[in-house]
Amino acid sequence: ESARDLAGRHVVVSAGGTREAIDPVRFIGNRSSGLQGYALARTAVARGARVTVVAANVALPDPAGARVVPVGSAEEMRTAVLEAAGDADAVVMAAAVADFRPAAYRGSKIKKTPDGEPEPIALVKNPDILAEIGEHRRPGQVIVGFAAETDDVLANGRAKLARKRSDLLVVNQVGERLGFGTPDNAAVVLGADGSRTDVPRGAKEELADTVWDLVAARLKPRS
Ligand code: PMT
């Protein structure tokens, strides 16, 4: 890692977890705190990049020197990420995006049914932002996904890397007090070129710096 190796580059990082509204008081969400995404943003700023962070429901101080675009749902994240990705040299999707959302938003609070039984909530698929970016990538743009896996971490990671057409996939095993909400993380970073980089448990900044090392090595020299 050389100090200002991202100078003159624009990088987009997504952070946090989307919330999919059920009614005015309830949502479907996840445990992402935004710590990993914000560590990526801070380290990219330190390496000289112009940084846009698309932040879903993150309750952390803004990373100094980065532009933060706050969003709520996966649809909002999609709009903000696609817009910021337009001139980006690299896009890193560290956010936990809900795969599904309620099929219909209920304008008033859902009441208990008279018999006290719950009503089922129908779900529909959310857009896959990472796959969409992978499909519409500009030449030279480096795309990085994250994968939160609990089982068969590597096999699932390889399959996901291919499906999402990313250059790199950061596979972190979540659960067992690791991943969501913790200050540290451990991961295996898989490359579309077949490479594999093991990052032992350490501060989220350390994993972030390894990700930027791998991104920087894949950026085309500027003419
Ligand atoms: O925020 P922290 O508390 O620090 O926790 C960090 C983290 C565990 C959330 C992070 O390290 C992480 O693993 N983020 C990705 C979590 C996730 O949603 O993984 P996934 O396997 O469901 O998704 C795979 C990839 O596709 C991700 O890059 C995700 O951003 C992207 N995706 C997923 C669904 C969708 N509809 N659109 C997407 O772009």
Tell me which of 7-11, 96-100, 148-152 is least confident: 148-152
Averaged confidence pLDDT in the chain? 94
Which of 30, 93, 161, 182 for mutating ligand 1's site (highest number of atoms within 8 Å of CB)?
Answer: 93
Label residue 223 by pLDDT band (50, 70, 90): low
Average pLDDT over residues 56-65: 98
User: CATH homologous superfamily for 10-100+121-218?
Assistant: CoaB-like (3.40.50.10300)
**Binding site members for CTP:** 99, 109, 127-130, 146, 160, 164
* pTM (predicted TM-score): 0.96
Q: What angle do CA 68, 50, 202 make, to 5 degrees?
A: 75
Distance set, CA 119 to CA 28, 50, 53, 102, 104 (Å): 15, 47, 37, 13, 13
Q: 185 catalytic, yes or no?
A: no
pLDDT exceeds cutoff 60 at 218:
yes
Out of 30, 57, 156, 185, pick the active-site residue: 30
- Whether residue 1 is predicted with pLDDT greater than 60 in this model: the reply is no
Domain ranges of the chain: 10-100+121-218
The protein residue with its alpha carbon nearest to ligand 1, atom 9, reads: 32
Residue numbering of the annotated binding site: 99, 109, 127-130, 146, 160, 164
Question: Of the residues 32, 101, 135, which should be mutated to test ligand 1's pocket, given the most ligand atoms within 8 Å of the CB?
Answer: 32
How many whole angstroms separate alpha carbon 129 and alpha carbon 143?
11
State how far the Cα of 90 lies from the Cα of 54, in Å rounded to an integer. Answer: 14
Is residue 105 over pLDDT 60? yes
Q: Among 146, 172, 178, which residue has the most ligand 1 atoms within 8 Å of its CB, making it the best to mutate?
A: 146
Q: What's the mean pLDDT in 102-131?
A: 92
Q: Residue 117 Cα, ligand 1 centroid: separation in angstroms?
A: 33
Q: Which of 18-22, 101-105, 110-114 has the lowest mean pLDDT?
A: 110-114
Closest CA to 172 of 208, 207, 147: 147
Token representation of residue 189: 């970073």
Tell me the CB-side half-sphere exposure of residue 169, using CA atoms within 13 A.
26
Of all protein residues, the one whose alpha carbon is nearest to atom 14 of ligand 1 is: 94
Phi, psi of 189 (to 5 degrees): -100, 115
220, pLDDT greater than 60: yes
pLDDT: which is higher, 116 or 34:
34
> Could you please report the per-residue DSSP string of 76-129?
HHHHHHHHHHTT-SEEEE-SB--SEEESS--SSPPPPPTT-PPPP--EEEPP-H
Dump pLDDT digits (tens) for 154-200: 888 999 999 999 999 999 877 767 788 899 999 999 999 999 999 99
Q: Compute CA distances 134 → 141, 143, 174, whole Å.
A: 9, 7, 24
Q: What is the pLDDT of residue 53?
A: 98
Alpha-carbon gap, residue 73 to 102, rounded angstroms: 11
Q: Which two tokens stand for residue 21?
A: 């509204």
Ligand 1 nearest-atom number relative to CA 74: 36
- Residue 2 has a pLDDT of 57
Using CB distances shorter than 6 Å, the residues near ligand 1 are 32-37, 74, 93-97, 99, 126, 128-130, 145-148, 172, 174, 179-181
Contact between residue 168 and residue 189 where contact means Cβ atoms under 8 Å apart:
yes
Task: Please compute the mean of the pLDDT values over residues 120-148 and round it to a whole number.
Answer: 95
What is the residue with the minimal CA distance to atom 10 of ligand 1?
A: 94
pLDDT value at position 178? 77
